[in-house]
Chain A
Amino acid sequence: MMTKFIVIVGGVAALATSLGFAYLFLPPSPFGVMNPIGNAYAQETPAESAHEENKTNNVQNGFSPISPAVTGQVPKQPGNISNLNLLPQSLIKTGSPLLGSASAPITIVEFGDFQCEFCDRFAKDTEPTINATYIQTGKANMIFKNFVTHGPDSVTAAMGALCANDQGKFWNFYQTLYKNQGAENSGWANANNMKKFATSMPGMNTQEFNSCLDSNKHKPQVDSDNVLAISSGFKGTPTFVIEKKDGSSRETLLGAYPFPSFQAIIDKKLGG
């Protein structure tokens, strides 16, 4: 009886493992393969554009002492770039949280989930070194996009972070969330805890934050971030896109790569 049970469990586990392996080694869908929602995301109404333009000027980078000079205009897209939504200036323009100077020659776009333990590892181990080496020195900047893959609490956390971004506190909130990360979907990232985290943050207008969170103001943004990640062929978190300011020379990393990996790519791009 016990042996049969173990054989069944083992069989299911083996099947799941082989499925995972197969999926892991499948080639990612090429950039630019958009689903209908993705195309919708790419199009903005003039009113939305104007709103996003205003928001761009309010972008602050939380714990970075560098004041972001958001002066860059959306560059003419080079011919080899297929997914225009991943262009750094386009992401900044649509109000994505930015760390560092908008005019930095290299951009790292992180697609993350606040419940993902590898995103947590990146935030605690690698991001501070990247920040000190490249972001503080103006050689690179970092943009965060939500890629919620861990269930409903991830959506709440993503919305909370975007509500904090409205007040220029995204990166403080980012750090607070990873500092307090608990077991997946255990309730640590529910709305009440988001509000508690916001209350503990100096300078945060909690009333504004709470109403933003309660009204699901940023749910469409979280959904469109997810669509962008899926349409770009990303398969997990954290995924990093490292590209030049004009969106050229794009490289993608899936996983919590350590600093030397980022260093190799960024130095190569800065040198070339």
Chain B
Amino acid sequence: MERADRKNKNNTTSLRTRSSSLLFFGGLLSRLSFILIAFRMVFFSNWIYIALAAVVSSTFWIIFSLFDQLLFFSPVFVFYLPDDAVIGFILSNIISVLIGAVVSMNVYVFRHSKGLKINAASFFSGSTLSVLSSTCAGCSSLGFLLVSTFGGLGVAASTFLSNYQIPLRILSVALLIWALYSVSNKLTTGCRMKSNV
């Protein structure tokens, strides 16, 4: 009798887990579809949005590569990728692409949907966090500025930025995905008809 009860309980728990995971993935898929629809709306509407995204992504890619000390313009033009920089480089590529997409989509929103607010918070915090985290704070001028200006506090700040470089970049990716989702949501919601219309 007890065994049967336990078995029932186990079955219920596993069913609940399955249904919650199904709900989670369903939600995720629906959000992904929002983003894809918004992508199609923006990037298939005019080539200028693709060009804008490409320019912004390239600019940020160059900034990240310069800060990561992977790209050098003088005395000779060199790009090199040492083993220790691979993970950071992959993340900075993702961030560059996301920033390009978010900027381009925000411009589209700004031009086409009067009255809609741009989610500047997640975009700016995502992009600035990623720029900040791509500098080895203590090694660069930024770290030196922090240390020489704020003393012990500067050391702590530079140590934090340096030690949590990868987590900060992951956080940047998350914030930018949020910005992307938010702008996509606004774009697709704007197309829906209101019930009272």
Binding site for B on A (CB under 8 A): 3, 6-7, 9-11, 13-14, 16-17, 19-20, 23-24, 113, 115-121, 124-125, 149-151, 183-186, 235-238, 251, 254-258, 260-261, 264-265
Closest to B138 in A: A150
Q: Determine if A258 and B72 form an interchain contact, defined as CB atoms under 8 angstroms apart.
A: yes
In whole Å, how far is B127's beta carbon from the nearest beta carbon of chain A?
8
26 A-B pairs within 8 Å (CB atoms) are namely: A6-B121, A6-B122, A7-B121, A10-B129, A11-B124, A13-B124, A13-B125, A13-B129, A13-B131, A16-B146, A19-B142, A23-B141, A116-B138, A116-B139, A119-B139, A125-B82, A149-B143, A150-B159, A183-B163, A185-B159, A235-B144, A236-B141, A237-B138, A261-B72, A261-B74, A261-B76
CA distance A264 to B73 in the complex (A): 12
Chain A residues closer than 8 Å to B121, beta-carbon distance: 3, 6-7, 10
Q: Determine if B138 and A115 form an interchain contact, defined as CB atoms under 8 angstroms apart.
A: yes
Asked whether B69 is an interface residue with its Cβ less than 8 Å from the other chain, the reply is yes
Chain B residues closer than 8 Å to A264, beta-carbon distance: 75-76
Q: Determine if B129 and A149 form an interchain contact, defined as CB atoms under 8 angstroms apart.
A: no
Closest to A115 in B: B138
Q: Determine if A117 and B139 form an interchain contact, defined as CB atoms under 8 angstroms apart.
A: yes
Chain B residues closer than 8 Å to A185, beta-carbon distance: 155, 159
In whole Å, how far is A19's beta carbon from the nearest beta carbon of chain B?
6
Q: Determine if B158 and A6 form an interchain contact, defined as CB atoms under 8 angstroms apart.
A: no
Q: Determine if B78 and A237 form an interchain contact, defined as CB atoms under 8 angstroms apart.
A: no
In whole Å, how far is B72's beta carbon from the nearest beta carbon of chain A?
6
Asked whether B42 is an interface residue with its Cβ less than 8 Å from the other chain, the reply is no
CA distance A13 to B124 in the complex (A): 9
CA distance A186 to B122 in the complex (A): 31
CA distance A20 to B138 in the complex (A): 12
Which one of A14, A24, A116 contacts B136 once the chains associate, using CB atoms below 8 Å?
A: A116
Binding site for A on B (CB under 8 A): 69, 72, 74-76, 78, 80, 82, 84-85, 120-122, 124-125, 128-129, 131-132, 135-136, 138-147, 155, 158-159, 162-163, 175
In whole Å, how far is B35's beta carbon from the nearest beta carbon of chain A?
20
CA distance A58 to B146 in the complex (A): 39
* Contacts A120-B84, A149-B143 known; 7 new A-B pairs at CB < 8 A: A10-B128, A13-B129, A20-B145, A115-B138, A118-B69, A257-B78, A258-B80
In whole Å, how far is B3's beta carbon from the nearest beta carbon of chain A?
48
Chain A residues closer than 8 Å to B82, beta-carbon distance: 121, 124-125
Q: Determine if B145 and A14 form an interchain contact, defined as CB atoms under 8 angstroms apart.
A: no
Closest to A11 in B: B124
* Interface residues of chain A: helix, strand, loop or mixed (majority): helix
In whole Å, how far is B133's beta carbon from the nearest beta carbon of chain A?
9
Q: Determine if B132 and A121 form an interchain contact, defined as CB atoms under 8 angstroms apart.
A: no
In whole Å, how far is A175's beta carbon from the nearest beta carbon of chain B?
16
In whole Å, how far is A115's beta carbon from the nearest beta carbon of chain B?
7
Chain B residues closer than 8 Å to A117, beta-carbon distance: 84, 136, 139, 162
CA distance A254 to B69 in the complex (A): 10
Given A7-B121, A184-B163, A261-B75, residue A23 in contact with residue B145 (CB < 8 A):
yes
CA distance A178 to B40 in the complex (A): 49
Which one of A3, A23, A124 contacts B142 once the chains associate, using CB atoms below 8 Å?
A: A23
Given A13-B132, A16-B132, residue A236 in contact with residue B140 (CB < 8 A):
yes
Which one of A10, A24, A237 contacts B139 once the chains associate, using CB atoms below 8 Å?
A: A237
